[in-house]
Structure 1
C-alpha cells in the first residue's frame, strides 16, 4: 500500500495544534457556519440494543475529545435498530444540513437510506452485499478476513483445508468463502444441535476406523516378544486412535458456545491442534476461549490487539466502564471524517473517503473501495491464556 494517511489516538495532537492554522488560511469568504463540521450519529439508543448504541456513542465522544476541535459538532439520533426509525432520523439529519453520518450499526437499518442521496452513511455493519450506494460498510467484513487468511495459508503452506459451517446459518459468509481464492479439501455443513455435532465430527475424521486400526495393531503387538514391538505397544496403549486424518487445517465459520463444541469434538475425535491448524473468523478476542483446552492454538483474523487494549484503557479511564470492543470502529470513523474535512479547507466531500492511498486508524490500516472498508488484518492465535500475533 502507498504511504498512508494517518489519524489515531496517538496523533490527535497534530490536528489540535494545527486546526487554528487551517481556519486562518481558509478563504475569507467562508462563513462561520460553513466552518462547522456537522456529523450525524445514528445508533440504537433505546431498546434491547441500547447498551451497544451507548457504547458506540461514548467512543465517538471520546474521539471528539481527542481531536479537540470545537468546530466539530455531533448530532446523535436513535435508530431504534430498525429501518423505519433510521430513515426518519436520516430525514431529520437532512433538514439540519448534515452531509455525513456515523451509523447505523445493523445491516437491517440500511434498507431505506438510499433514498437520502445528500448524506453519506458510514455504517458499522460487516455485511458486504447490497450496500446502498451512499453507504460505506465500515465493519470487519468477510472479504478482509479472507484476504489475510489466504496470505497466511500460503505462508504456512497448508494444502488440505476442511471448511465447516452450521446448517442454515452463516450461509452468505460460507458461500463467499467457498467462492473465494481459498481452496478447500472438503466443505461440510454440520447440525446446529450440540448433541449431534460430536457424532458428525467423528465421521469427518474417520474416528471409528482409526480407533479400529489402533486396536488391530495392538492385537498384533501383544503376540510379539520382540523388544521393539513391546516399546511400540507401550506407546500405542497411550493413544486413542492410529493414523492421520486427510486434512492439515480446518476453518470453522461459527461463534460462541457452538464454536467451542465443534473444536471440543475434534479433541474427542483425537485430532490435535499440534498436528492440524484450526482457524475461525474474527472473534473480537473472546477471552472465554482461555478456559477451553480444545481452543488452544486456534487462529483467527483480527484488528490490531495492542491498539484495541489502548482504546479500552482510555475508554475505561474516561467513562468508568468497559466498552463494546467493536466501538473502536466508531472512534476511527469520526477520525476519518475529521481528517477528510481538515484536509479540504474545512469542507467535507464524500470522494475523499475513497482516497486510493488508504488510511490508518487506531484499529489498523484500511482502504475504502466499492462501498466497503477493506482492512489489513492480522492473524492471532490462542496460546497459554494469551492472544499471540503470528502474522
Structure 2
C-alpha cells in the first residue's frame, strides 16, 4: 500500500515539475517581445502590466489585460481600481452580440456570432495529450518545444487545472495585426488608437480572435519591419498603418504575401491590390457639402486651398462636383502652408483692391456732382471700405486648426459680409471649441454625425479620462470589422467576402462600405457651427439604398 501511495506521489510530482518547466520556458519566450498580443485569453490571464523601453527610451505597453488595466491609467479612482470594478466597467459598456449584429456592424450576411459574455470567458481547453517529441506551446510565432521523453500524458484533474493557467495554443486562433505609431512624434495618436482597439476587443471579440499590435514608429521603415513581423507570426489580416507614405512602403509586401490590409489613410491613390482605406475621404466630404449647398440654392463658389497634395485633391474634387450639382467655380486661390500669413490670398479672392478702387472712383464722381442727392450718397459711402459685391455666394475653406482660425476672420477684415456669404468646410472643422471663432459661426461642413459616435466618446472618456483623438474611432471600427470577418463558422480563416458587402456597415462614425477601388464610402451629415459647437442640419443616411 505504501509503495502504491509513493508511486502515485512520485508521478504527480514529476508531472508538476514538468508543467512548471513548460511555464518557465513559455514566460522566457514572451519576454523577448515588445508588444504582447491582445486577445481574450491574455486579457484574463496576465496578472501585471509589463512595459519595455525602446532605443529612444520610450515606454511601450507589452501586454493589455483586464487585471493590469488599473495600472495603465484607465479608471478614475486609483484606490478603487480592482479586477471586479474593471470588469464591471467594460461589461456595462459592452455591446452584446445581438446588438452588434443588428446595429453596430449591420451586415446582411449569415455570420455566426456565438460567443459568451467577455466577463465569463474561460481559456479554451487544449489537447491534454502532450506527445513525446512534438509537444510545443506557440506564442507570437515562437515554438517552445517539450524535450522531455519521460512523460507522454498529463491527464490527472490536478494537472489539468494547472494546464488551464497556461495560455492556449495559439495556432488555432485568427490573428489580425495592428500597425500604429506607438513611439515617435505621433505616439499620442497611436496610443489613442490602441486604446480604441482595446475597447473593441473587450466589447466584441471571442476567444478565437487575437489582435497583434506593432509599433511602426510613424515611419515607412518602421512599418515595413512591423508588417514583416506580423506576417512571420501568422497574421491573416492587418489594420493600419496610419500614414500614406507608410501604406505605400508596405504595398509590395502586402501584394507578395497576399494578405488584406485595412489602412487608416485617406489617400485614394494608394488603394487597391489588397489594400482598403478606412480614412475619411476629402473628396467625399467635398461632394457632400457641395450637394447640400446646391440644394439650398447656392450656385456661385470660391475656394482657398493649400499648395499641397491634399490641396490638389480638393481642387480636383471641387472642379468635379460644383459643375455636377449645377454650380460655378468662379475663383480659387492657393496659399503656402509654411508662410503663416494669408492676407494676400484673401485680398485676392475677395477682389478687395478692385472693390476699393471702385469706391474711390464713385466718391470722386459724387464730389464732382456736388448736388444734395450726390452729397447724401457720398455720406453713406464714408462708412464703407469697398464697393460692389464679391462674385461668390459660398467660399470653401478645407482647413482645420490654427490655419482655419487665421483664414476665416480675414473675410470680414476685407469687407465680405458673413451674413450673405456662406463659409463651407470639411471634417477638419470637427474639433473642440470651433464655435469660439465668430467668423465661423453659421458655417457648414460635412462630417460624421456626432450623435452616432456619442456613446463611443463617452465610454472612452470614462475609461481613459480624456477625449479620444478624432481618428481613434477608425481603430475601433476596423477592429470591430475584423472581429466580424473572423466569425466564419468553424473555419479558421477570415471571410473577406464580407468586406465587399454593398449594404455596408454601421460603425462608430456611421454608415460606411468599401467600393471596388477599396475606398471607404461614408454616409456623412452636414453640420452648422454655432457658439456651443455645431448642430446637425442635414442628417447622415441610414442606408446606402438611395446613394447607389
Q: TM-score range by the shorter chain?
A: 0.7 to 0.9
CA distance, structure 1, for counterparts of residue 528 and residue 379 of structure 2: 33
Q: Relative to structure 1, is the Cα distance of residues 193 and 237 closer, same or farther in structure 2, using a 3 angstrom cutoff?
A: farther
Q: Which of the numbers 77, 89, 107 marks the counterpart of 2:244?
A: 107
Structure 1 unmatched ranges of 5 or more: 1-8, 22-31
CA distance, structure 2, for counterparts of residue 253 and residue 300 of structure 1: 9
CA deviation profile, 1:283-337 (whole Å, cap 9, x unmatched): 1522243232222222221112123332221101012222212111111111112
Match of 1:272 in 2: 417
Q: Contact 2:334/2:345 (CA < 8 Å) preserved in 1?
A: no
Q: Relative to structure 1, is the Cα distance of residues 343 and 365 closer, same or farther in structure 2, using a 3 angstrom cutoff?
A: farther
Q: Relative to structure 1, is the Cα distance of residues 135 and 195 closer, same or farther in structure 2, using a 3 angstrom cutoff?
A: closer
CA distance, structure 2, for counterparts of residue 299 and residue 35 of structure 1: 50
CA distance, structure 2, for counterparts of residue 223 and residue 11 of structure 1: 78
Q: Contact 2:393/2:422 (CA < 8 Å) preserved in 1?
A: yes
Q: Contact 2:244/2:267 (CA < 8 Å) preserved in 1?
A: yes
Deviates more, 1:247-256 or 1:310-319: 247-256
Match of 1:316 in 2: 461
Work out whether 1:371 is the aligned partner of 2:509.
no
The 5 Å alignment of 1:39-78 reads 39-67=176-204, 69-78=206-215
Deviates more, 1:89-98 or 1:204-213: 204-213
CA distance, structure 1, for counterparts of residue 429 and residue 277 of structure 2: 18
The alpha-carbon deviation at position 224 of structure 1 amounts to: 5.2
The alpha-carbon deviation at position 144 of structure 1 amounts to: 1.9
Deviates more, 1:183-192 or 1:377-386: 183-192
Q: Contact 1:124/1:139 (CA < 8 Å) preserved in 2?
A: yes
The 5 Å alignment of 1:176-255 reads 176-183=316-323, 184-192=329-337, 196-214=341-359, 220=366, 225=372, 237-255=382-400
Aligned partner of residue 244 in structure 1, secondary structure: coil
The 5 Å alignment of 1:289-304 reads 289-304=434-449
Aligned partner of residue 306 in structure 1, secondary structure: coil
Match of 2:34 in 1: none
Q: Contact 2:485/2:498 (CA < 8 Å) preserved in 1?
A: yes
Match of 1:261 in 2: 406
Match of 1:170 in 2: 310
Q: Contact 2:333/2:345 (CA < 8 Å) preserved in 1?
A: no
CA distance, structure 2, for counterparts of residue 68 and residue 323 of structure 1: 21
Aligned partner of residue 385 in structure 2, secondary structure: coil
Q: Contact 2:242/2:265 (CA < 8 Å) preserved in 1?
A: yes
- The structure number with the bigger radius of gyration is 2
Q: Relative to structure 1, is the Cα distance of residues 345 and 181 closer, same or farther in structure 2, using a 3 angstrom cutoff?
A: farther
The alpha-carbon deviation at position 191 of structure 1 amounts to: 4.4
Q: Contact 2:399/2:429 (CA < 8 Å) preserved in 1?
A: no
Aligned partner of residue 430 in structure 2, secondary structure: coil
CA distance, structure 1, for counterparts of residue 290 and residue 95 of structure 2: 32
Q: Relative to structure 1, is the Cα distance of residues 105 and 190 closer, same or farther in structure 2, using a 3 angstrom cutoff?
A: closer
Q: Relative to structure 1, is the Cα distance of residues 149 and 290 closer, same or farther in structure 2, using a 3 angstrom cutoff?
A: closer
Aligned partner of residue 121 in structure 1, secondary structure: strand
Aligned partner of residue 445 in structure 2, secondary structure: strand
Q: Relative to structure 1, is the Cα distance of residues 258 and 169 closer, same or farther in structure 2, using a 3 angstrom cutoff?
A: farther
The alpha-carbon deviation at position 254 of structure 1 amounts to: 2.9
Work out whether 1:93 is the aligned partner of 2:240.
no
The alpha-carbon deviation at position 373 of structure 1 amounts to: 0.7
Q: Relative to structure 1, is the Cα distance of residues 272 and 174 closer, same or farther in structure 2, using a 3 angstrom cutoff?
A: same
CA distance, structure 2, for counterparts of residue 125 and residue 195 of structure 1: 26
Q: Relative to structure 1, is the Cα distance of residues 167 and 90 closer, same or farther in structure 2, using a 3 angstrom cutoff?
A: closer
Work out whether 1:359 is the aligned partner of 2:486.
no
Q: Relative to structure 1, is the Cα distance of residues 201 and 20 closer, same or farther in structure 2, using a 3 angstrom cutoff?
A: closer
CA distance, structure 2, for counterparts of residue 307 and residue 206 of structure 1: 41
The alpha-carbon deviation at position 37 of structure 1 amounts to: 3.1
Q: Which of the numbers 364, 386, 390 marks the counterpart of 2:533?
A: 386
TM-score by length of 1: 0.84
Match of 2:267 in 1: 127
Match of 2:114 in 1: 19
CA distance, structure 1, for counterparts of residue 461 and residue 350 of structure 2: 45
TM-score by length of 2: 0.61
Aligned length in residues: 372
Q: Contact 1:301/1:377 (CA < 8 Å) preserved in 2?
A: yes
Match of 1:28 in 2: none
CA distance, structure 1, for counterparts of residue 375 and residue 426 of structure 2: 44
Match of 2:110 in 1: none
